[in-house]
């Protein structure tokens, strides 16, 4: 006999939730759960993150700025292990009340201040250093549109498709179909755009590419959500693949992808980053 269909209660309670893989950290409340200060290094920027797609956006951006000669973009990158709830310490909540990575502390001026949300961090750094974001109003609008298109699309790919396809405690056909449809639509939007231009924002590499690459590339490479590449027929999106390969070859991108990485082969991990020397002996392919 089939299970009875789920009927939502009149008032929802978290006590009945089967959180699956994330049961130990998911709660319907915000704020710190543990008093603990964050580490602080010597550089102008202090990054607290993990090498998830959202985290990689910022490490790529910082490495690109350094590659372009902006020494003022030097940073210390500290790993925040979200599986162990380190995003709920008082120190981290102080730099991001939403308890999500990445979070950045800008200490380059007289008064340090925080920036949280990956899209906001990219815009802040682009404006501060005058790079990867055009000043022409029309070009700027195009780049910002594609940047925040990714910010809006990411939850469908990660928390939607990725969660129900790879992490949920049970396979729910409707949920997987719903988010597989949306993920493929997102890829088609990008593929059609990249048939028209070299990069998402136009003919120049910008924060639009830096924001989107860490999300789209793992599907192209087949390194995210088990066999998602096959399941979603990602090889159909030839223009996205061309764009991914070009960006992946950039030296700064190779470095940025391994910062705060704590899985995989040891020589592909860089748990903390404090100087360019930290990349010595690491595989950047």
Minimum mean pLDDT range among 8-22, 90-104, 195-209, 266-280: 8-22
Q: Look up the domain containing 23 and give its range.
A: 1-132+255-285
CATH number at residue 23: 3.40.30.10
Q: What are 216-246's pLDDT values in tens digits? A: 999 999 999 999 999 999 999 999 999 999 9
Residues 235 and 175 occupy one common structural domain = yes
- Domain match, 262 and 240 both: no
Cα–Cα distance, 100 to 118 (Å, whole number) = 10
- Residues 240 and 180 placed together within one structural domain of the fold: yes
Same domain, yes or no: 11 and 120: yes
Same domain, 126 and 17: yes
Q: Do residues 59 and 155 share a domain?
A: no
Rounded CA gap, 208 and 193, in Å?
A: 12
Q: Are residues 93 and 2 in the same domain?
A: yes
Q: CA–CA distance from 123 to each of 94, 144, 207, 234, 252 (Å)?
A: 21, 9, 8, 29, 18
pLDDT averaged over every residue in the chain: 96
Indicate the pLDDT class of residue 283, thresholds 50, 70 and 90: very high
CATH number for 149:
1.20.1050.10
Residues 74 and 188 in one domain: no
Beta strand pairing status for 45-49 and 103-106? antiparallel
Q: Is the peptide bond before 102 cis (omega within 30 degrees of 0)?
A: yes
Same domain, 9 and 119: yes
Q: What is the mean pLDDT of residues 260-278?
A: 97
Residues 145 and 244 in one domain: yes
Are both 215 and 280 inside the same structural domain?
no
Whether 3 and 81 share a structural domain = yes
The share of the chain scoring above pLDDT 90, in percent, equals 92
**Domains contained in the chain, number:** 2
Calculate mean pLDDT across residues 176-200: 98
Residue 32's CB is within 10 A of a number of other CB atoms, namely 16
């Amino acid at each position: 006999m089939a299970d009875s269909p789920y009927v939502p209660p009149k008032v929802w309670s978290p006590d009945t939730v089967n959180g699956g893989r994330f049961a130990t950290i998911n709660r319907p409340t915000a704020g710190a759960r543990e008093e603990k200060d964050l580490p602080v290094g010597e550089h102008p920027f202090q990054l607290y993150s993990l090498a998830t797609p959202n985290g990689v956006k910022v490490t790529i951006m910082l490495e690109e700025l350094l590659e372009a000669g902006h020494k003022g973009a030097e940073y210390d990158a500290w790993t925040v292990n979200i599986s162990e709830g380190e995003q709920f310490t008082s120190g981290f909540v102080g730099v991001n009340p939403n308890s999500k990575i990445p979070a950045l502390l800008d200490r380059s001026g007289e008064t340090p201040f925080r920036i949280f949300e990956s899209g906001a961090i990219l815009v802040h750094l682009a404006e501060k250093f005058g790079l990867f974001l055009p000043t022409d109003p029309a070009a700027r609008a195009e780049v910002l549109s594609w940047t925040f298109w990714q910010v809006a699309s990411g939850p469908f790919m990660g928390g939607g498709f990725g969660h129900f396809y790879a992490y949920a405690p049970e396979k729910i056909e409707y949920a997987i179909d719903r988010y597989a449809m949306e993920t493929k639509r997102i890829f088609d939007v990008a593929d059609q755009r990249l048939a028209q231009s070299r990069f998402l924002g136009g003919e120049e590499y910008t924060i639009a590419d830096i924001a989107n690459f860490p999300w789209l590339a793992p599907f192209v490479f087949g390194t995210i959500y088990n066999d998602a590449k096959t399941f979603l027929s990602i090889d159909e999106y030839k223009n996205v693949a061309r764009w991914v390969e070009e960006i992946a070859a950039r030296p700064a991108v190779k470095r940025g992808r391994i910062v705060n990485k704590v899985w995989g082969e040891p020589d592909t991990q860089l748990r903390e980053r404090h100087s360019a020397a930290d990349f010595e002996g690491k595989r950047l392919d």
